[in-house]
A and B are shown apart, each in its own frame.
Chain A
Amino acid sequence: AQSVTQLGSHVSVSEGALVLLRCNYSSSVPPYLFWYVQYPNQGLQLLLKYTTGATLVKGINGFEAEFKKSETSFHLTKPSAHMSDAAEYFCAVKTYGGSQGNLIFGKGTKLSVKP
């Protein structure tokens, strides 16, 4: 069975600083991995996804993530934080088998950006 662990429920950075949100996954088969962002009182929006191919994935709003099979990680990064990046971020893995297409989410990391 697939699972996702997000390290750190709350991350705080200064504006302009590097953003690093950590995600480790568990999967017995090659995983499909996703990062979603959730702004207050809104639904989830897809930031980026890894399915196959290039391990460095670029997403919207300047975010990127690297799939590292040896480390079972899919950490999300952004070189320079902006105030508008303050939100909650969820890492997710997609299931296989009879429930294809279902997402299993981590508990989320709330990102705060200080001026």
Chain B
Amino acid sequence: EAGVAQSPRYKIIEKRQSVAFWCNPISGHATLYWYQQILGQGPKLLIQFQNNGVVDDSQLPKDRFSAERLKGVDSTLKIQPAKLEDSAVYLCASSPGQGSYNEQFFGPGTRLTVL
């Protein structure tokens, strides 16, 4: 079974530029998550989708971050404009469902450096 795919793996941009990340979850997984992992910290949830609907985006900085999951499969996370403090690894995860017993499977992440 293929795992969670993410691209690009690395991205370097200058502040105020825009950037987009892509995630393809495990086939059949209804729930998709985007996490931000700043160096030296644990991952922090940015947004959770159930199929193509948003379940929780309470920690997403909506003035600059946006995410979509059209057709309930793959997803994109966009930052516009980027700030220095956005430098982090962006992890995508998926799970079969929303319930607490469902394990989350993580992709390899996209490492963003904002100069």
Asked whether any CB of chain B lies closer than 8 Å to the CB of A115, the reply is no
Q: Is A53 an interface residue, CB under 8 A from the partner?
A: no
Q: Which single member of A41, A44, A98, A100 contacts B100 (CB below 8 Å)?
A: A100
Question: CA A53 – CA B100 in complex, angstroms?
Answer: 15
Please measure, in the bound complex, the distance between the C-alpha atom of A94 and the C-alpha atom of B104, giving whole angstroms.
Answer: 11
A9, A41, A90, A103: the one contacting B108 at CB < 8 Å is: A41
Contact residues of A between 78 and 99, Cβ < 8 Å to B = 90, 92, 94, 96, 98-99
Task: Provide the residues of chain B in CB contact with A45, threshold 8 Å.
Answer: 106
B55 touches A103 (CB 8 A): no
Which among B14-22, B39-47, B63-71, B72-80 touches the partner chain?
Answer: B39-47
- A102 interfacial by beta-carbon distance below 8 Å: yes
B98 at the interface (CB under 8 A from A): yes
Query: B31 at interface (Cβ–Cβ under 8 A)?
Result: yes
The CA-CA distance from A100 to B100 in the complex, in Å, is 6
Q: Which label, helix, strand, loop or mixed, suits the secondary structure of the B interface? A: loop
A32-B100, A96-B100 known; A43 vs B42 contact (CB < 8 Å): no
B4 at the interface (CB under 8 A from A): yes
Contact flags B2-40 to A (C-beta < 8 A → 1, else 0) = 001000010000000000000000000001010000001
Which residues from A are CB-within-8-Å of B111?
Answer: 41
- Residue of chain A at shortest CB distance from B44: A105
State the Cβ distance, B56 to closest chain A Cβ, in Å. 4
A44 touches B43 (CB 8 A): yes
Q: Which residues of B approach A to under 8 Å, CB–CB?
A: 4, 9, 31, 33, 40-45, 48, 55-56, 58, 91, 93, 95, 97-104, 106-109, 111
